Structure formats: C-alpha cells, structure tokens
Chains A and B, each alone.
Chain A
Amino acid sequence: MSLPLHLRSYREKSKDELTRDYFNVPVQSSLPSPSDPPSVVKLRERPYKNGQEELQSMDINAVISVEGKEEVYAGRLSLLPPFLCFISLDRKSCRCTIPLYTIRRVERLNSRAGVFALSLATWHGMRIILQLTSLLPTAEHFAILLRDALKSQLSAMKQLKPFLPSLYSEYLLSSPVSTAAGQQQTDHLLLGTELNEKAGNVGTEAESDLRGPGGEGKGIYQRGLGEQFGFPGDARKMRERSKMKLWREYFMIHGRNLTLLRYPPFQRLLQVGLPSRLRGELWEVMSGSVYLRFANPETYGLLLSQNAGKSSQSTDEIEKDLNRSLPEYKAYQSEEGLARLRRVLVAYSFRNPELGYCQALNIVVAGLLIYMSEEQAFWLLEVLCDRILPGYYSPSMEGTLLDQRVFESLVHRCLPMIQEHFVSVDVQISVASLPWFLSLYINSMPLIFAFRIVDCVLAMGVKVLFQIGLAVLKINGEALIEVTDDGMFINLMRSYFATIGDSAHPDHPDPRVRAITNFQELLVVAFREFNVITDETITAERKRLRAIISDEIEKFSKRAAVRNLKNVGKFSKDQIGIIYDHYFSAICSPEAGPSTYPGSSPLPGDQFDQPRIQVDAQGRVETRIDHRTFRVFLSQIATWAREETVTTNAFIQRTDRRVADHELIDRLFFAWDSQNQGTLSLQDVVLGLNRVMTAGLMESIEWFFELHDKDKDGFLTKDEVIQLSESLLFIFRNEPGDIYLAAVSKFILNAYEFGDATAPEGSVDEKIPIHGDKETASGARERSDSSAGPHNLPYLNLATFRMVVLADELLENFFANDLTASFQLEQTGDEDYHQAHQRPEGLLGGLMNLVVTNENKNRLNRLADGFGAALGKHAEWRKPALTKTVEPSTSSGDLKARESLLTPAQQAGQFQRPTPPRQRSSSAVSQASTKTVESTTTIGTPDEKRSLADVEARYREESQMVKAAQEAVMHRPNFAIDAIGDSDDDGEGEGDDVMDEVEAFLKAHGDDDEGLKGEQKKVAEDLLKAEPMGKGKKKDSSSTSTGDLVDL
C-alpha cells in the first residue's frame, strides 16, 4: 500500500508561477543552464546553485505593434527570463511568448519626447515595436533587466540554428509555393479517389499535396506517424491545403514557431482545426513544450539509452496497454507505431518515476504521436503532466478527482436542472466525464474531432475541457433529464459522440444551416455560452475544493490500509485508525526529513526516489518508514520517547514537544523490523505495538529483555546489562525524585550479583568486587569497565533478569503497569487535515497567513517568555513520562549535587533533571508511579489535576484569543487596496473588474479587435519609421545599451 504523502506538501502557486503558467513558460529553475549536465530524471526542487543568480522578472504596461500589421495593442509586457511575454488588455486579441534567444537586436527608438520605445528584431526577421508606457524610470529599469536577461541568452542563441530545421514551419516557408496549375491537377487526380473518413485510411501519396508540402523523405523536420501511415480524416474535406496556405501567410507576418505572435486571426485559424502537418509543431509551440525540447536536447535519448533493457512495474503496465491504444489507427497495428509509443511512455516513466505510468496516458501519447515525433511528444507529455493537467496521472490521481469535483460544481452552477436531476436519480456525472478529462476526449469521440479539441486545450488551457464538457451536457440536456441510471447516461453520451460529425439541423431548409455539424455547434456553445468559465474560475474552484478532495483521498487510503492489514492484534478498529494516523503524520512531519530526493542528484532510473517507498516481491509499492521517521512516530505514542517542556510565564502555559533520541528507540525499531528491511511497514508497527501494549508484567519483562539481547541467544552480556539500565534511566529521566535512580542503581548491583551466580561457565572469569549499597550506578559502570573480564559473553538470562526485576518493588510496578501504560493512543486531530489547515482565502487571508506563521508563533512565545522572566513568573519544566505530576523546577544546584548518581551518558549533560530532590520513603514508591501524590507543594500547581485543567483551560483561552484575533482581522472594514490586485480572491468578481477596466479602456480607445486607434496608433506608426538612437546617444542612458546585442 502506497500512501498519498505528497498531498500534505502541496502549496498554492506563487503569482510569478501563475504568470509563467499563463504564458506556458517554464520556471527558471527548471531550465538547465549551459554548464549543467543534461538532466535526465526530473528534479522536483532544484538545489540552489552558488554564484548563479536568478534573473529578475518584471511587468510593465506596454503597447505592441508589428511591422506590416495595422493593429496596435495595449497590454501588459512581462519579462520572465529567459522569455518576453505580452498579453493585450482584453486577454484575447494579442498574446505572445518570445524566447530571448530568438531576439537578434534590441534598440531604443529615437522618438517623440516622453515615449520610451524599443524595437526588437527577431530571428525570423520580424520587427516588433514595444512602447513602454509606464513612467520613464520604470521603463528604463525594465530595459536594464531586459538587457541583462538578453546577455544571459547569448550562448543559447547558438543552438537556435541547428534546432530550427526540426520544425515544419521552417520547411514550409522554405519550400516554393506550388503553382495554381499544379494544384488543379492534383485536385483533378483526386476527384475519383474514394477517401474514407475513417482514421488512417487515407493514401499518403495523395496527401503530400493536399496537406501542404512535405511528406516522407522530404525535409528533416520532426514528424509524427501520420506522415508514414496517413493522418486521420479526409484532407480534402478538412480543407487542409487552404488552411496551410492561410497559415503560411500568417507566419510571413506574425513570425513562426519560436517567435510566433498570436493575433486575432490566430484564434480563427485555431478553431477551424489545425492542418495535420503543422499540428505537432503548433502543439508544442502553443503549450510551450518546445522550450523544454530546445533546452534539453539530449535528455530523451539519454533516458532511453540509460534505461535500455530495464523493467519496472511501469514498463510492465505499459506493455499491457500498448495494444489497447487507439488500435483503430493503422500505425498502432504495426511494430513501428507500437515501438514509438512504448519508447515515449517508458522514457517518461523513468523521467518521472514518482508518476511512472498511468492508464490513459497510452491513449494521449498515441494521439500525440500521430502528429509529433517521439521527442516532441515526450516533452509535451511532461508539460501535460506538470502544468496543463496537474495531478491527473499521479499515483493518487488527486488532480483528476479534483477536476471532476470542479466540473460537477460548474455543472451545478451553469446547468442546475441537469445537476438536480442527476442527484435525484443518483447518477454521477463523472462516470462519463472522467475519460473525457483523462484522455482529452481522444477516446470519446472520433479522432478528427478530438484532435481539434486538443488544439484548443493546448492553445487556451484546461478550461477548454470544462467548456466542452458543459456544452456536451447542455446540448444533450433534454435527453439527459430522462436518464435514470448510469447505463442510459453512458449510452446517450456514446451515441451523441458517434454522430458528432453529422448535421446538427438535418431537416433545416437552409443548406447552410444543414451544413453545420454537431461538432461545430458544440464548439460554438462551448466557447460562446461557457466563456464565463475562465482560468480564474477553474483556479478558484480548485482552490476551494482541494482540501475536501485531499481529505477524501487520505481517508480512503487510510480505510484501505487499515483493511489490508493481515493482523491487527488485539486492537480495535478505532485504535488501528489512530495508529495509522500517527504513522501517516510521522511520515509527513518535517522532523522526519525531506520527502524528496535525499541527495541533489538521484541515480537515474532509480524506480523510487523516496526512501520510504519500497517495492515488494510482487512488484507492488509499499510505504514504509525509516528509523528517523519511526522516532517521530514513537514520540507521538510513547510518553518517554518525547521531551515535553512545559513553560509557564505571566500569560500562558504551553507545552513544547520534541522528539527524543536514544538507542532504546532504535532498538525497538530493529526489533519490530520483522523482515530485516531497515524500514517498517504499517503492519510491522501494528504488531510491534500490539506486543508492548497488551503485555502484562511477565511479557513486558520479556520483550524488554529481548530488546537488549542483541544476538538473541537468551543471555545478556555484561555490556548489554549496562545498556539495559541506561534504557531504564532514559525512560525515567524526567521522573521526579530519586527513587527511580536508586532503583536502577540497585538493579545494576543486583544484576551483577545474580549474574555472577548464574552466568554460564566461562563467562565470569574475574570476580567483580561488590561493594555495598552505597554503590552508585556510575560506580558500577566504571568498575565493570575497568574489570578485565570480557563483556560480550553470555551473562544474564531471562530468568535471572526477571528475578532481579521482581526484587525491586518499583521496577516490578514499572514493568507491570507503567511501561505498558506509557504507550498511549491518542487522537492526532488529523481528521480532515486539509480542511482544517486550509488557509483563509483572499487578500485578508493572505495577510493572516503572513502573520500567523509558525515562526511568528515561536517569536511570540519567546517574547512572552521574556516578559514572564522579567516579571519573575517564567518557569520551565520537563513533563515526566510516567508520573503525571507536574512541577516547576528552579533549583539547578540540586542537579550538581546528584551528578554522581548519573551514568556517564547523563553526566555528559544529555538529560537534565529538573526535579528538586525530595525525600521519600520506599513505601511511597508505588504511589509515586500511580497518580496520587500529595506531597507536591509548589507554586502555581498545587495538585496535579488542577494543573492539567489549568493547562487545558489556558489552551482554550489561547485558541479563543487567536480565533478572536482572526475574526477581528476578517471583519475590519475594507481598505481600498483590498479591492485590487489580488488575483486569488474571487475569480468571478475579479474577472468582472478586469472586464470593466477593459470596457472602460475600449470606450476611450476605440473597438477591441482592431486594437488601438487614434493618437496612440499614430505614435506606434511613427515608431515603425523611427530611427534607432544614434551611437552618441547610446552612452547617455544605460538602457539603450541593449542595442549592443547584434545579430550573430
């Protein structure tokens, strides 16, 4: 059983990351620097490198225009090194992401006073004019950052030349335009050819012209299986040639591949379906995966070569699914196609071992490979898994579950009738919609249509999946209201998708209306009626529902883990649940160490990077804990395995818990490791606890004895006797009074006495002198150390040990009651962890989060301590593990007085004994270990019950105070600043604001599609003609020196 550990380490994305996501730009740290060795296995957190500073990002208002185009757009320019991105104010007309390594030259233009404008010359000869419309100093600062970022990309520029030929658009634009006559000829030739709509039935020869230039053996661009086995769909019906012509024209003006600008025609060309030959390239450009392919040229090959011949659970699973991946497409009936599919999936499973392989990826990749090369598909797969569909394919599939919930909530919001009906007949929408999302509709509708949806998803993001899903439901609304069970629902959806290419209005008199297919109608409904579903909607909904989903997943895996235990001992179901909670929270606790890679460079191909996950003999993944984690776990259960410091000051009383560290804990760990794996499974832990928690006097003595009998020969050696007594002292370290100490030293003496009498022949070759009762523990230790006798021979057997223990009333009581009772199963309070820890949203919430951090809490505590100390009311003491008496200790002088009693380990200062000495008769000993102690007369805590109640009451008080403070902050009147600038607040409201702003802007500046008009347009036009600033001027301002970057 593998547990969903990663859910607790989830964090919301930062604003910078969200912006980068929006522009499909990878985070800077994920891009290798030229000096790095090629990265093979994915690193979740790249270690900080010395000397290499992150380049700074910056946003600025700007107006963009391009040579050869009328339109001028105002918007936001973002420098996200090594990329320059722009989005127009309406967030749809104009958008671009330009890698800085494709910019040959930047010049500051000599223009009217007060206008700061830069001219960018791109690799493809395009000239982009950017007017920075912010204040001059801001603009200059931006220019400086841009210059620095450009400089850092000079080396990357050299790789551009060899890289570009891998892109089809380069081939397309270098091939001559075919003559009209030639086209007609091919048209004629093809008239009689029967072309089947079905996937893969198209003749490849005829295609080369119908689908634009190219084909097998032509050019060296990277290509998909479609070039060889035929692209799905009828090239003529899909008007591939005219689409290609339009794209070619578009590329001439708006740049291509890496320098592609999205202007309004782009959206239109996109929505009619991308031409097959160009599709793969546009997919990687639109999704941004091309930047990864550019930056990691060797990775894919290395992954394959380094892992050749290796097999894993993932590779086995991949093998099984190969034949079930779009088997209707011709290539996947051939070895060539299957081999490509296998390679990409296997390579990715080694790239991202945590994810490995998830069913449905086979379908997705099979789809991608029709249009893309293996390497292209590989990188797009990475972008899909990381960014576009985060968590969809992970081992707990939390992204999938989350988005299904988000989808349901959107259905509830947009199509309440359908939602209500489905609730009333108890049908879950997910039974149908799950595969839509998981396979990007590739598996749900005929390929040619599914790929058009993929086009839109990659261009516009995941919201498209939701929009299409909602549109499907809306269009079928009437029939859906009649559905009574999942079977009907599934069949209805199936028959709709099967007829999606048919006319939406077959009986309409107007032939043009008749020509509208169901699919076209679907797109119209999706993008027109559901354009209210924006990226922000999705982000906000995900944020709202994530905690619920995470808790559900954790509960589910808890149920499964508990159920899968083969032996639960004498524990009740609830107790097992508590053990599980501790086990799980220990793994997730920061004290257990990092859950990511132990080192910065994991071995490539290591199936499981996490030390806590192992694969069992059947190849199944299992979560196990190492001894560090075990210490955390045990500290939550055994009272003696933690250090609890109770602090009182003038204001509050609090208890700080720390994990204790002692050999005894490690001994338990190894004793419970039934399979000698160096790690413990949940089952091991349950059985281990079962033994110690159900033990009576004799059983306790026995397991404690065994714990210290390293070679399991039934005898403790002399050394082991000492170790055992050290263990006892460790457990007793915080007990008040001397009695425990005395008991242990008496134990040692007795052990040696009895031991010498009963030890096997030969093990006692030198008589150990026994002194009297005054002998101290440390004395005994010293003596045994100094004695020449071997300490590793069998010496003390169980029977003798038992005798020694039973000789002492306190020890007897300890083994009879206290030891067993020191293991306590208390609720962790982790029920609905995620919902409980969900951070308040919005700007106010953000403020709260800034204020209420652990660090601040600690600081506050220290502050309170300081005050307390000043007032003379500060006190600190350790909570004892066995007795429940709590008393403050002040007299450190007593410590020294008793030092002679301590073992060397304690003398080293490992354990502080904060208890003041008290005289107590041995008859009081048994009472001491039980609860009632009256003699504790100290300040503040007259009796134990009182003090506990006190602690509790103060806790309650404290939490109420925090609560009140939170509420106070929440209810404070809104400042003006609250209303703006917080993208995480309410998705819709915020969107409205932006829209208002846009509308207001548009009213002032003309209509939207044409971009800017009037004055500003004039300025932009002038700028096109403007000369760069002269050499002399360049020295004047540092910003102009960006012009130094000349072409290569």
Chain B
Amino acid sequence: MAEETPVKAVQVKLVLLGEAAVGKSSLVLRFCQGDFNENTSPTIGAAFLTQKCRLENRIVKFEIWDTAGQERFHSLAPMYYRNAQAAVVVYDITKAASLEKAKAWVKELQRQANANIVIALVGNKLDLVSESSTSPAPPASEEAPAEEEEEEEEGSSEEPSATPTPNETESDDARQVSTAEAEAYAKESGLLFFEASAKTGHNVGEIFTEIAKTIPFDTIVPKSTTNTSGSRRSGNNNDNGSNNNVNLGEGQQAKKGGCC
C-alpha cells in the first residue's frame, strides 16, 4: 500500500455505528462518492469502503466500516470497532429513539474501544427539517439531484421535495431531537458534533475533516506487531506536530466541532 501514496499517507480506520435506517450508508456513500464503486456490497455485517482526503502535507486514507444497523448484528460490532481510530455515531434527528441508541453506542465505544478513539456524533436527515436555524447547505449540495438513487436507506422516496423547506410548521414537527440537546450531550461526553444531510451533502465533508483534525496522529502507535511489514506505519511517526494547521482540500471547515 505504501507504493501508491506519494506523500506521507495516514491510514485512519473509521467505523460507522447507529440504529438501522438512520442513514449510515448514505452518509458514507456521499463522502466516498469519488471512490464509490457500484458493486459495493450491501451491508452484511459491515460494508468496507475507502476514501482518501488530501491534507496540506499528508494524505488521510479513511478505511470505513459501515456496520449493519440491525439490532442482531450488534454483537458483531466489536469486530469492526476494535483498533478503530475514529467512529461516527449516527442518529436520525427526526427520531428521538435513535439518539438513545446512539448514546448507547457512545458508551460502548468509550468502554470497549480504543482508549483515544475520536467519536463524532452526527444527526442525519437535516434535509427533512431544513429550517433556517442552521446555515444553508454548502456548495456541495449542487451535486444532489444526481444522487437520488443512493438515498434509499432514508426511505424518503415520497418526499423528494422536502429539501427546499416546504413549510415551517411541518418541519418543526419532523424534528424530534433539538440541536441544543444533542450538542449538550456531545459536549458533556467529549464528542464532535454535527447535524448533516446525506441527501444534500450538507456538513458531510466537514465530519470527516474535523475527525482528521482531531485524531492525535502523533500518538497513533503503530500496531505493536507490525514491525515485519509496517513501513507505512513507521512513516507516520515522522510528521510530528504538524496537525494543527491541516486543512482538507475539499469542503469547508465546520464551525461546531464541540470537541475538546
């Protein structure tokens, strides 16, 4: 793998968790579009995707495990989040219960996963409640129409017009989790926090940007036993302390990284 990375490439194992149908797969597909290949398997246990992002002086290669949301696959999740450096825990802002599940995932990660795992809490389906409280969709949303097909997981086929704010009251009703509530929880638990829309692409890039910025690359210890062929890993150790000024080439910086 080292041969295809011209600059120092940093590999980040990231796992997506959350209740079924909150739009995990849609988020990843949105993020990985460039790399997206049609034969990506549906989620059995977990789908595996990769996406590279260019930083100023390094390339971050996300290896993404998009886990199955069905409850019975829960016991398989540890297989995917072990050794993960980052986790995106997704809930659906139009379904209060999904936040509860998300909290359970966060607790599990904090107890069972890597000690310094970076966790982002993401409220998806912002498009269904697009009131003006949040900033309008970033430029990324231009590509939206072409991606209709991939949003099937959101089950929103009946409301393709939901994006342009149909009427204020209705969208108020749809939202069941307030931004403030989730943000407060995220802050309290030391998580990054975003509200995003896989459908419009709003904030999606930012999630990953912020994660990339937050991961303490210096402290990523190469796996203890990789000495045999761990040339890629040892490369990481050289770029110390440079992660303060990094910026992903694409997307904007998120304002609300409520992190440490």
Contact = CB atoms under 8 A, between A and B. Distances in A.
Nearest to A435: B44
A363 B44 contact: yes
A556 interface: yes
Interface stretch (B75-83, B211-219, B247-255): B75-83
A563 B97 contact: no
Nearest to B50: A487
A853 B230 CA distance: 56
Contact of A563 (B95, B111, B230): B111
A435 B45 contact: yes
Interface in A872-889: none
A553 B73 CA distance: 12
Contact of B70 (A323, A359, A424): A359
Nearest to A326: B42
Nearest to A487: B63
Contacts of B225: 424-426
A320 B38 CA distance: 18
A431 B223 CA distance: 18
Given A425-B223, A563-B107, A618-B97, A321 B229 contact: no
Contacts of A362: 42
B114 interface: no
B239 interface: no
Contact of B226 (A317, A484, A553): A484
B42 A321 contact: yes
Interface string A317-349: 101110111001000000000000000000000
Given A486-B63, A553-B75, A563 B104 contact: yes
Interface in B30-57: 38-39, 41-46, 48, 50
Given A434-B45, A490-B48, A317 B228 contact: no
B230 A484 contact: yes
B221 interface: no
B42 A317 contact: no
A94 interface: no
Contacts of A486: 13, 48, 63, 65
Interface in A472-498: 482, 484-488, 490
Contacts of A560: 74, 104, 108
A438 interface: yes
A320 B63 contact: no
B71 interface: yes
Nearest to B107: A563
A445 to B, nearest CB: 11
Interface string A530-562: 000000000000000000000001001101100
A425 B44 CA distance: 24
A446 B74 CA distance: 28
A324 B44 CA distance: 11
B6 interface: no
Interface residues of A, number: 49
Interface in B92-117: 95, 97, 104, 107-108, 111
A219 to B, nearest CB: 34
A438 B44 contact: yes
Nearest to A493: B48
A694 interface: no
Nearest to B69: A359
B180 interface: no
A359 B43 contact: yes
Contact of A396 (B42, B70, B72, B228): B72
Contact of B229 (A484, A563, A618): A484
B11 interface: yes
B21 interface: yes
Contacts of B153: 320
Contacts of B42: 321, 324-325, 359, 362-363, 443
Interface string B191-216: 00000000000000000000000000
B20 interface: yes
A321 B20 CA distance: 11
Given A320-B20, A424-B225, A486-B63, A359 B75 contact: no
A323 B229 contact: no
A488 B21 CA distance: 28
Interface string A215-255: 00000000000000000000000000000000000000000
B1 interface: yes
Interface in A396-451: 396-397, 400-401, 424-426, 428, 430-431, 434-435, 438-439, 443-444
A358 B13 contact: no
Contacts of B223: 425-426, 484-485
B68 interface: yes
A620 B70 CA distance: 11
A397 B44 contact: no
Contacts of A358: 70, 72
B155 interface: yes
Nearest to B226: A484
A317 B104 contact: no
A317 B45 contact: no
Given A425-B223, A428-B79, A434-B45, A320 B21 contact: yes
B107 A487 contact: no
Contacts of B13: 485-487
Contacts of B188: none
Nearest to B75: A556
A295 interface: no
Contacts of B107: 563
Given A443-B41, A563-B107, A618-B97, A324 B48 contact: no
Given A431-B79, A487-B50, A618-B97, A425 B226 contact: yes
A557 B74 CA distance: 9
A394 B73 CA distance: 10
Interface in B1-41: 1, 11, 13, 20-21, 38-39, 41
A264 interface: no
Nearest to B48: A490
B158 to A, nearest CB: 13
B168 interface: no
A460 interface: no
19 contacts: A2-B71, A317-B20, A317-B70, A319-B155, A324-B42, A397-B73, A400-B76, A401-B75, A425-B226, A426-B83, A428-B79, A444-B41, A484-B223, A484-B229, A484-B232, A486-B13, A486-B63, A488-B1, A618-B95
Given A325-B42, A397-B75, 9 more contacts: A2-B71, A320-B152, A395-B72, A397-B73, A400-B76, A426-B223, A484-B230, A487-B11, A556-B75
A-B residue pairs, 10 tightest by C-beta: A324-B42, A618-B97, A435-B44, A487-B63, A434-B45, A490-B48, A424-B225, A360-B44, A395-B72, A323-B152
